[in-house]
Amino acid sequence: MKLLLILAADHANITSDGKLNVMGIFREINAFNFPARHSSMHLVIKLGAEPGEPMESRTMTVKLLDADGKELLNVSGPANLPRSEKGRLAEFNAILELKDTVFPHPGPYQFVVLVDNNYKGELTIYTNKVEPPGQGAPSH
């Protein structure tokens, strides 16, 4: 399997006919204080079969790592590719809804995708400390 897509969004769903809907894609999280808690985000992952790959059940794992490689989150579940149709390679869509994710400090974080413990790719999210409105330097 190969990673075709990974992104973070405010909301995502999959329709009954398999369409992937995504709203509010982001790569940065701004917070007034740290540790920062992000109330809800959707991590969207699309995996695709390689030519000749057997259609067997796999295990997909998503880890959230900080800049020092410390693991903050580890979620695993089955990744079952559907049968290929009309000569097309099979694809698998996954949406992880993450509630109250805590980012201990400003800086980069990585969502890492593994299939059967084999690295497939990652998404880097940047957390930034920002000043509350009215707290910045006076403008002239």
Amino acid in position 61: T
pTM of the model: 0.87
Number of other CB atoms surrounding residue 107 within 10 Å:
15
What CATH topology corresponds to 2-129? Answer: Immunoglobulin-like (2.60.40)
CB-based contacts of 128, cutoff 8 Å, min separation 6? 28, 29, 30, 31, 106
22 closest CA partner among 51, 47, 48, 46: 46
Domain locations in the chain as residue ranges: 2-129
Percent of the chain with pLDDT over 70: 91
51, 54, 59, 60 alpha-carbon torsion, rounded to 10°: 10
Question: What confidence tier does 136 reach under pLDDT thresholds 50, 70, 90?
Answer: low
Count of other CB atoms within 10 angstroms of residue 57 = 9
**Tens digit of each residue's pLDDT (9 = 90 or more) over 3-60:** 999 999 999 999 998 899 999 999 999 999 999 999 999 999 999 988 777 777 889 9
DSSP reduced 3-state for 26: strand
- Average pLDDT on 60-67 reads 97
pLDDT bucket at 89, cuts 50 / 70 / 90: confident
